Structure 1
Amino acid sequence: MNRHARLIKLGLDTNAIHATRLVNDYSLRHAHQVFDQVLHRDTTLWTALISAYVQSGPSHCSHAIRLFSIMAREQGLDSRPNHFTVTTVARAVASAPEHLYMGKSLHGYVIKSGMMSRNVVVETAFTDMYAKCGDVDSAHKLFDEMNSRNLVTWNAMVAGFVQNGLEKIALELFVRMKCLENYFPDECTISTALLGVANIQDLIFGLQIHGYAIVSGLDSNCLNSIAHMYFCCGQVNQAEKLFGGVEGDIASKMIKIRGFVYNQRYCEVLKQFCLDKNPAEIFNWDYTIILPILTACTKLSLLRVGKQVHSIFITLFGSCFHSKFSEDDNVILGSAFIDLYSKCSVIDDAQKVFDHWMPERRVSHWNVLIFGYIYNDLIEDARRLFDDMPVKNVVSWTSMMTGYAQNGRPQEVLKLLDKMYSDEEGFKVEGNCLTFVVGLESISLLSEIEKGKQVHAKIIRRFISADTCNVIVGTALVDMYSKSGNMKYAKTVFDKMVEKNTIAWTSIITGYSVHGLGFHALKLFQQMMEKGIQPNEVTFIAVLTACSRCGLVEEGLHYFELMKTKYNLMPREDHFTCLMDMLGRLGKLDEAWRLLEEIEDTELGERFPSGTILAALLGNCHVHGNVEIGKKVAKKMLQHGKQVSTTHITLSNVYSSAGMWNEAFGVRMNWKKDGDENAEPGLSRICTHPQVY
């Protein structure tokens, strides 16, 4: 300031040379004031002010680019851009990708003026600019055309590919620079390459880079990057060994906390937080570290620690709408605190955060609180909050529909779906994949196929055609049509699906199996195996059911063994029930009984036979009038207290089918004497459009 005063006294404050020195020394606001007083500005002065804006951070880069535009318009003999100017502006564009068009114009100017020729610094600046703006093709083209490259050039390209999700190409460049071009990666190259490895979880490549870092003596400088790579590759113990039990600096603590959360080691996260002598220091250094800590508290339902985090946060920032936070941070932080209290079942505290700590509520805040009420089974409170929302998005509608679905109210789901598309509130919301899945599942429960066709039409409009929607929606459509009895439509949707996973195949196979089209189901299962799709336990239930309906005992036993030996799937109650039903349908009750005894002699005997398995065998004893085995099965069921009422009724029917009326009468009298008089009657629904009965 004293120097500036002397220059003013001497009348030299408007001299470009002296003004440039002042611009370099002053804050941005005062530097601009000095710049404005200079009438004859040269290249050095322009470049100094542009550089000052770029160095002030990404938020000022747009202003730096506008300054350059003014400089270009006012261009005189003494103010033509030089190498320093263009590289500085290229850096500004790299930090403000929306101005890439200006960067391309500048690139053209540089080529035309000859500044680009054999100047590796300028070429590297534009390579980095294109890469950071996402124009990887232009960056790669410029890189390949360069006559000479330096380590900074290579680092720019590797970083550009990693930043744009092209990690494999970045790692190929890393190998090329070291093995073919004889450039030795520095700590910047290694850290960037390790980030690429972490993104694609290529542990083998990561181990090789770690080895190179050790040999090069750079491992201590890249410690946090190496640890991050191990955490992302699931090697938690290896990552911890790197720190050797030392607490480390703030950056190391943050790497560990985020790494533990990524690997769902929530106890380790809170241990790290609780042992820290000054947790507020971490929050102040990078407030986003609060999110993984809150995640750990929420997952473990540790309300006390969560409140401690909340207290520190309020002390430091007051609320989640601090000027330091971005718009996205406001939404994420506020939602995280509401979610914490909701998942810890103190919904009143979540409501307090919403009411008193959020002067500016976003739709996401409303949504997470609605979900909190649903999570705590307060569906009516959730609906009141939903109705009070000034603006609703697709997440709002879908959350409320999901809440009704989870509470067994499919009719309410469909009412909401209709209301969402009715435009009653002045704006129309288009459903997403989850919206349609929830709606289709409710339709399946109600067997309302006409409503299902309407939703199918909405899906076609939303996704151009049904085959372009994702596999989850496609599977839900197949399931809906199958459960409504329309296998023709179900198969049409299935055939048009671009992607088919295990659940999609299982859904269509189950549909055919349940509707008695066993041979169709088995044919599809064969196609599924030929395509290498891994079946699951539910797939085999459908396959065994199909074999049972078609009387294919040998095939059923073959698939049962295949499930255990080839696919290493442990048989469940439903699988044995299918086997019993399959053998029983063909009257092979002796084989079924022997299978039952074999089950009891194995380790599965601790879990089986259950009431369902025994009931299936007893039911077939009634069909075939086999009193001997029927009595043994009924005795076993009654000994274990399995389905007492059903057992008496079915055993009575077994005697009746064999003409043993006195025994049948005796069983029924015993049941009336000792049976369950509180059994609830079954209920059925049938839809004859538009009425449901």
Structure 2
Amino acid sequence: MNRHAGLIKLGLDSNPIHASKLIAEYARFPSPSSLSHAHRVFDQVPFYLQDTPLWASLISLYSRSHQPHNALHLFFHMLRPPQAASNALPNTYVFASVARAIASAPEQLSLGQTLHAHVIKSGFLPHDVVVETALVDMYAKCGVVTCAYKLFDEMPRRNLVTWNAMISGFIQNGMDLMLGEQMHGFAIVSGFELNCLNAIAAMYFHCGEVGSAEKVLDGIGGDFFVTLIKIRGYVSNAKYRDALNCISSANNGIMILRQDHKVIVPLLTACARLCLLRVGKQLHGLISTLVESCFQFNLSYEDGAIIGCALIDMYSKCGDVCEARKVFDHLLPQNVSHGNSMMSGYIYNELIGDARALLEILPEKNVVSWTTMMTGYVQSGKPKECLSLLAEMYCSKEGLIGNCLTFVVSLEACSYLTDLENGKQIHAKVVRTLVSAATNNVVIGTALIDMYSKSGNLNYAQTVFDLMVEKNVVAWTSIIMGHAVHGNGFDALKLFHQMIGMGVEPNEVTFVAVLTACSHCGLVDNGLQYFKMMKKYGLVPREDHQTCVIDMLGRFGRLDEAFYLLEEIEDTDSNCESSYGTAWAALLGASQLHGNIKLGERIAKRMVNRNQTSTAHVTLSNAYAAAGLWDEAYGVRESWRREGDVNGEPGFSSISTHLQNS
């Protein structure tokens, strides 16, 4: 600002050379105010003096400040008269900056193709490796990896940045490991392997091949760039302790943070996942020390906001909500993402009231703010409050409309309440707001199926399912479960076999739905076959599967078979000390239902030995009473009382009567 004021005093603020240098200075500390000042500097220069370096400096500033639309607006303004008639013609730097802007706004891909055509027309292809590399990166980040690879393949010269851009493109677009390995081999043959090792290692980390990534990096040595790649790779693969081991000493940590301060975010994530509050505080101290020292360390506005959110998340996940709130209160300037992170922290620690109080005082709220609070209400078993908040959001002064997650959470609230009317209204909002989301978005479609099924309208649920373009295992499972709980067992099994025929592999929850369908419809033998089928898909039966099977056998009087099956399951499980209580309780209930007192006694004794006494005593006592064996029922109650399982006074009923004298 002092330099700017000095230039104004000297009357040099309209000089394009000085203006370009001044914009470059503002670019060192990008923020909303610095961008505004930089653009004002640009506007002070008469249009006939606005040369290419001046245009390039401002376009680049907007591009690197994550404002691609402003960068694109400037570029196309540069191409129009009178600028186009002057000496302000795009150069390598301008084209590369615009390509980078489009890469950060994939929805502008059509403009990227226009840019590509303009680059060819201007004669920059195929001779300018910088522009070509920027275009490769642009196509890859816009998801058109085939165009990126075609351009890469046709390049007469490739440098290190080109290789890194192409390999990163494979990573970002989820290309499989085989393609990544082919790129690795191509790099070796072309003599670029040593230069591309960082990008190749990042690719292996992205594919979950941690061992391969480590082998690649071991060939480089222990420089800071290797450490940075390892930290991010380990965190993305949930190897949080390995990530923290990369900063073994305080000096090492300081040097790494000076090299790339953004790496503090994955390190704080590792602390949050492992609940390492002490280590998190040490990292907080390191970053604070570096910021206060101002020694070759400057945080941009965006980076500061991201690190602030990461600190709030770390303290919240470690249970220190007070410290998280201190961080929040000291963040200047605060933005909406900070408030959302603090609300999430309160909700994570089940402080729903504090989260709502914060929502009320936030000066700025976006759809994420409202949705976060709605999610908190659903998670804490308050679906009515969730739906009330949805209505409040639509009436708020911000004029917000819901996004995908907003509608999914709202539909989940309707499922809890079996509220068909509100569910229909939300469905209508989905259709109006997101147009084809109910059919094209598998998450929203599945939420609608679940809501309609639980609200008693299975026909609507089936219609939503039939109209869905994409169906994953969750969607199939939801509609199968819907038919199962409505007693349509045969339809549920038919859908299950359709799913298998479509090549969709079932998961554990799918088999719970299938076993429930068999249980409700008396298809006992079919149910046992499906239970055995789980091994075919590499699934290990959980207690809920076993309970379904035992309940199914017990419900139809096959009690001995259920008993021996449950004994066999326990014998093959080495960790059965605290398991199968629900399954044994279901079998005990079935024994009472069918009046099999002897089997009930055996089960009850087994449950007593496993400290599952409350259920066992009550059910066995009721079974004795139902059979008219009152002495035995009394004996079980007394035994329970003597063992100390009944805490407090016995329950009794009372009726108060209020008499009035006439």
Give the TM-score taking structure 1 as reference length. 0.74
**1:398 matched residue in structure 2:** 371
Matched, 1:336 2:310: yes
1:529 CA displacement: 1.9
Residues 20, 53 of structure 2: 8 Å contact kept: no
Q: Distance in 1 between matches of 2:139 and 2:606?
A: 68
Of 592, 612, 616, the match for 1:647: 616
Q: Distance in 1 between matches of 2:179 and 2:427?
A: 46
> Higher mean Cα deviation, 544-553 or 401-410?
401-410
| 1:343/1:444 CA distance change after superposition, 3 Å | same
Q: Distance in 2 between matches of 1:147 and 1:344?
A: 53
Of 510, 513, 518, the match for 1:539: 510
Of 346, 351, 355, the match for 2:329: 355
CA deviation map 1:651-684 (0-9, x unaligned):
34444555655545554565566574459999xx
Q: May I ask how many residue pairs the two structures share in their alignment? A: 597
Residues 401, 433 of structure 2: 8 Å contact kept: yes
Of 523, 548, 553, the match for 1:583: 553
Of 346, 369, 374, the match for 2:342: 369
Structure 1 residues 163-242: aligned runs within 5 Å: 163-175=141-153, 183=156, 185-199=158-172, 200-242=174-216
Residues 370, 385 of structure 1: 8 Å contact kept: yes
Residues 465, 479 of structure 2: 8 Å contact kept: yes
Q: Distance in 2 between matches of 1:316 and 1:58?
A: 27
Matched, 1:416 2:389: yes
Of 615, 630, 633, the match for 2:600: 630
Structure 1 residues 663-678: aligned runs within 5 Å: 663-664=632-633, 666-667=635-636, 670=639, 676-678=645-647
Letter in 1 for 2:404: C
**2:112 matched residue in structure 1:** 135
| 1:681/1:592 CA distance change after superposition, 3 Å | farther
Matched, 1:433 2:404: yes
**Match of 2:456, SS?**
coil
| 1:544/1:317 CA distance change after superposition, 3 Å | same
**Match of 1:543, SS?**
helix
- Unaligned runs of at least 5 residues, structure 1: 1-21, 32-44, 76-80, 101-130, 178-182, 683-693
Matched, 1:471 2:442: yes
| 1:188/1:59 CA distance change after superposition, 3 Å | closer
| 1:264/1:71 CA distance change after superposition, 3 Å | same
Give the TM-score taking structure 2 as reference length. 0.77
CA deviation map 1:458-488 (0-9, x unaligned):
3333323662463222222222232233323
| 1:319/1:342 CA distance change after superposition, 3 Å | farther
Of 591, 608, 612, the match for 2:582: 612
Q: Distance in 1 between matches of 2:62 and 2:581?
A: 72
Of 88, 94, 97, the match for 1:95: 97
Letter in 1 for 2:619: T
CA deviation map 1:520-547 (0-9, x unaligned):
2222222222222222222212212221
Residues 438, 444 of structure 2: 8 Å contact kept: no
| 1:627/1:134 CA distance change after superposition, 3 Å | same
Letter in 2 for 1:511: G
Structure 1 residues 22-421: aligned runs within 5 Å: 28=21, 50-51=52-53, 54=56, 58-59=60-61, 86=89, 88=91, 91-96=93-98, 134-136=111-113, 139=116, 149-150=126-127, 152=129, 155=133, 158-175=136-153, 183=156, 185-199=158-172, 200-244=174-218, 248-275=222-249, 277=251, 279-318=253-292, 325-358=299-332, 360-421=333-394
| 1:381/1:523 CA distance change after superposition, 3 Å | same
Structure 1 residues 1-40: aligned runs within 5 Å: 28=21
Q: Distance in 2 between matches of 1:148 and 1:98?
A: 17
| 1:428/1:677 CA distance change after superposition, 3 Å | farther
Letter in 2 for 1:536: N
1:332 CA displacement: 1.5
| 1:619/1:301 CA distance change after superposition, 3 Å | closer
CA deviation map 1:492-539 (0-9, x unaligned):
332233332222222222222223222222222222222222222222
**1:112 matched residue in structure 2:** none
Q: Distance in 2 between matches of 1:662 and 1:280?
A: 77
Residues 338, 354 of structure 1: 8 Å contact kept: yes
1:355 CA displacement: 2.1
Residues 510, 521 of structure 1: 8 Å contact kept: yes
CA deviation map 1:592-644 (0-9, x unaligned):
233234334433783687232222222222333333323322332233232x3
1:362 CA displacement: 0.9
Residues 99, 134 of structure 2: 8 Å contact kept: no
Letter in 2 for 1:460: V
Letter in 2 for 1:579: V
| Aligned sequence identity (%) | 48
Matched, 1:603 2:580: no
Residues 65, 92 of structure 1: 8 Å contact kept: no
**1:16 matched residue in structure 2:** none
Q: Distance in 1 between matches of 2:473 and 2:496?
A: 11
> Higher mean Cα deviation, 665-674 or 187-196?
665-674
Residues 544, 560 of structure 1: 8 Å contact kept: yes
Q: Distance in 2 between matches of 1:64 and 1:494?
A: 46
1:559 CA displacement: 0.9
Q: Distance in 2 between matches of 1:529 and 1:651?
A: 42
Q: Distance in 2 between matches of 1:236 and 1:605?
A: 31
Q: Distance in 1 between matches of 2:256 and 2:346?
A: 32
Q: Where does structure 1 differ by over 6 angstroms across 4 or more consecutive aligned residues?
A: 22-27, 60-71, 97-100, 144-148, 679-682
Q: Distance in 2 between matches of 1:99 and 1:676?
A: 69
1:336 CA displacement: 1.9
Residues 404, 413 of structure 1: 8 Å contact kept: yes
Residues 79, 89 of structure 2: 8 Å contact kept: no
Q: Distance in 1 between matches of 2:502 and 2:81?
A: 63
Residues 599, 605 of structure 1: 8 Å contact kept: no
Letter in 2 for 1:295: T
| 1:604/1:145 CA distance change after superposition, 3 Å | farther
Matched, 1:570 2:540: yes
Matched, 1:490 2:461: yes
| 1:145/1:450 CA distance change after superposition, 3 Å | same
Letter in 1 for 2:616: T
**Match of 1:273, SS?**
coil
Q: Distance in 1 between matches of 2:574 and 2:646?
A: 33
Of 467, 477, 497, the match for 1:526: 497
Q: Which has the larger radius of gyration?
A: 1
Q: Distance in 2 between matches of 1:680 and 1:197?
A: 68
Q: Distance in 2 between matches of 1:252 and 1:536?
A: 38
1:370 CA displacement: 1.6
1:555 CA displacement: 1.0
